Amino acid sequence: MSPPLENDAIREEAGLLARVGAGDREAFRQLYSRWGAPLFSLAVRMVVDRGEAEELLQDAFVKIWRNAPAYDPRKSRPFTWAFTIVRRTCIDHLRRRRHRPVLTPLAAGAGTADSLATGESVRGAAEARDDADRLQRALADIPPGQRRALELALFSELTHDEISRHLEQPVGTVKSWIRRGLLDLRATLNEPAR
């Protein structure tokens, strides 16, 4: 029975995105409420610095607002489309700074004295830690080969072909692993926090 619920959620998000494309600010707020935490976790994981991640997420949501009229539901699901915008925004930022994305532990820096000393609120640190923990749990539930393909796709600049060669797996398998992994992550991250 979960596929119809998933399809309903996808249709609802596509409808919200269409409303955003027409300039509906309330629809934009609703999408931000749904997608903000998982997309922020992605940005933090890619650029490591929380301040930079916040700025990049803001830039990405401006792009989502501006590009919503061009969204085509036949090409991708709404969350996947937004995820791609955030990922590309982070990669562009890292390229401009001549840094390469580095896989770091998700909880690194979240809630430490250093992060609090930079003006981050205790509540913000706790929420970030919770988001990072949820993402780590979600990744831990994914089979190892699939998880590695997903991590390489999300947090490096490798193409599907390069990931295929790196993992010594057919490109089709790598693409399937990444797609399934994204769906699993989305489902886990959309669950209410425990």
59, 81, 104 - which closes a domain:
104
Of 80, 85, 78, 81, give the one whose Cα is nearest residue 10.
78
User: Total domain count for the chain?
Assistant: 2
pTM above 0.95, yes or no: no
Identify whether 60 is part of a domain: yes
Whether 158 shows a pLDDT value over 50: the answer reads yes
Whether 67 shows a pLDDT value over 50: the answer reads yes
Question: Picking from 12-21, 74-83, 185-194, which range would have the lowest pLDDT averaged per residue?
Answer: 185-194
pLDDT > 70 fraction of the chain, expressed in percent and rounded: 74
Which whole number is the average pLDDT over 26-30?
Answer: 94
Q: Kindly give, in sequence order, each residue whose CB lies less than 8 Å from that of residue 184, ignoring residues fewer than 6 positions away.
A: 138, 141, 142
Question: What ranges make up the beta strands (E) of 4-146?
Answer: none
Please, are residues 133 and 107 in contact by the beta-carbon 8 Å criterion? yes
Q: Are residues 100 and 145 in the same domain?
A: no
Q: Are residues 100 and 147 in the same domain?
A: no
Identify whether 25 is part of a domain: yes
Q: Are residues 84 and 168 in the same domain?
A: no
Phi, psi of 141 (to 5 degrees): -80, -10
pLDDT at 190: 65
Q: Are residues 161 and 71 in the same domain?
A: no
What CATH number is associated with residue 51?
Answer: 1.10.1740.10
Q: Are residues 98 and 150 in the same domain?
A: no
Whether 13 shows a pLDDT value over 60: the answer reads yes
Identify whether 154 is part of a domain: yes
Q: Are residues 87 and 175 in the same domain?
A: no
Length of the chain: 194
104, 124, 159 - which closes a domain:
104
Q: Are residues 20 and 71 in the same domain?
A: yes
Q: How far apart are CA 77 and CA 69, in angstroms?
A: 14
Q: Which domain holds residue 36?
A: 1-104
Q: How far apart are CA 141 and CA 156, in angstroms?
A: 21
pLDDT at 130: 63
Q: Are residues 96 and 13 in the same domain?
A: yes
Q: What integer best gives the mean pLDDT of the chain?
A: 78
Q: Kindly give, in sequence order, each residue whose CB lies less than 8 Å from that of residue 148, ignoring residues fewer than 6 positions away.
A: 167
pLDDT at 30: 94
What CATH number is associated with residue 181?
Answer: 1.10.10
**Most confident segment among 50-59, 127-136, 154-163:** 50-59
Question: Picking from 45-54, 85-94, 177-186, which range would have the lowest pLDDT averaged per residue?
Answer: 177-186
Please, are residues 52 and 45 in contact by the beta-carbon 8 Å criterion? no
Q: Are residues 147 and 88 in the same domain?
A: no
Identify whether 59 is part of a domain: yes
Which whole number is the average pLDDT over 88-99?
Answer: 81
Whether 55 shows a pLDDT value over 90: the answer reads yes
